[in-house]
Amino acid sequence: MRLNRATDFAIRVLMFLAAEDEPASIDKIADILGLAKSNTMKIVARLSTEGIVTAQRGRGGGVSLKTPADKISIGTIVRLFETDFAIVDCFNPKAETCAYEPRCALKHKLNQATQAFLTTLDEALLSDIVSNSQKPIRQLG
Amino acid sequence: MRLNRATDFAIRVLMFLAAEDEPASIDKIADILGLAKSNTMKIVARLSTEGIVTAQRGRGGGVSLKTPADKISIGTIVRLFETDFAIVDCFNPKAETCAYEPRCALKHKLNQATQAFLTTLDEALLSDIVSNSQKPIRQLG
């Protein structure tokens, strides 16, 4: 069971920004977190569209949190970046038909479990997992 | 976010067996559920090793539940067939190092969420999701 890499990276980018005092360039974010620049740009673009970060071009520009860290839940980010919660095939409308469809009780239970997963993350705020003292430990890349 | 296909298939095989009155052949299980015979064999072998099903060769043989359906939780099956719960890269000991390791609070929150997912499934019994009336609706394959 795993999340998309984009979800993982998006959370790390937000953790980084939450601990920064000033706007950070895409290059800096990518270098320090050890992410590809292209991935970092895509993630920032998506977060910007959602009003979670602002990205300013030019001198003195850079990326910074727009929404305060104590208003961003990890659950929100996971819901945003997971393209689907098709935890098994039958959740995917394009999947091959299952012999148990359409009245399978398993689907309902898996939905409940997924909701329990997300609810736990809804209760986790970015500010809970990052303090100013929690800067990345070392530069990767 | 998704489970391995083997997990999904294992649950379907158990749902099938729970609704059967007599031992079923691998061919029958594979045909009715629309699974590859090789996958079905692997799944049955694993379930047999764990004492969840019995598989008897020869005439009058076949696969049947060994553990009663009201003693098999979906959580047990998910834990058995998911090779890991490396929900993000940092859970995988072979993954590239993350700049936030080893003191990342995100990992703890993701662990909590995964536990909430599994606990929900621990409470779901095979007998809850299958009644004798819930046979597969149609044969696939």
Extents of the domains making up chain A: 5-129
Query: Nearest Cβ partner of A120 from B89, B113, B124?
Result: B113
Rounded CA-CA distance A24/A28 in Å is 6
The model's pLDDT over A37-57, given as tens digits with 9 standing for 90+, comes to 999 999 999 999 999 999 998
Find the mean pLDDT for residues A97-108. Answer: 72
- Fold topology of B5-129: Arc Repressor Mutant, subunit A (1.10.10)
Q: Which residues of A touch B99 (CB under 8 A)?
A: 12, 16, 32-34, 136-140
Q: How confident is the model at residue B73 (pLDDT cuts 50, 70, 90)?
A: very high
Find the mean pLDDT for residues A108-132. Answer: 89
Check if A138 contacts B (Cβ < 8 Å): yes
Q: What is the pLDDT of residue A132?
A: 45
Does this model's pTM top 0.95? My answer is: no
Q: How far is CA A59 from CA A26, A32, A63, in A?
A: 13, 20, 12
The model's pLDDT over B89-127, given as tens digits with 9 standing for 90+, comes to 666 656 566 666 666 788 888 889 999 999 999 999 999
**Residue B133 identity:** S
Q: Which residue has the higher pLDDT, A128 or A92?
A: A128
Other beta carbons within 10 angstroms of residue A1's beta carbon come to 19
Contacts of B70 (CB under 8 A, 6+ apart): B125, B126, B127
Residue A83 has pLDDT above 90, yes or no: no
**Residue A141 identity:** G
For residue A135, the chain B residue with the least C-alpha distance is B100
Q: What is the pLDDT of residue B86?
A: 67
Residue A125: strand, helix, or coil: strand
Comparing C-alpha atoms, which of B100, B86, B139, B121 is closest to residue B11?
A: B121
Q: Which residues of A touch B82 (CB under 8 A)?
A: 1
Q: How confident is the model at residue A140 (pLDDT cuts 50, 70, 90)?
A: low
Residue A78 has pLDDT above 60, yes or no: yes
Q: What is the pLDDT of residue B58?
A: 82
Q: Is the confidence metric ipTM above 0.90 for this complex?
A: no
Check if A119 contacts B (Cβ < 8 Å): yes
Q: What is the pLDDT of residue A121?
A: 95
Comparing C-alpha atoms, which of B75, B88, B80, B77 is closest to residue B1?
A: B88
Q: Which residue has the higher pLDDT, A72 or A111?
A: A72
Q: What is the pLDDT of residue B125?
A: 94
Mutate to test the interface with B, among A120, A127, A130 (most CBs of B within 10 A): A120
Q: Which residue has the higher pLDDT, B102 or A33?
A: A33
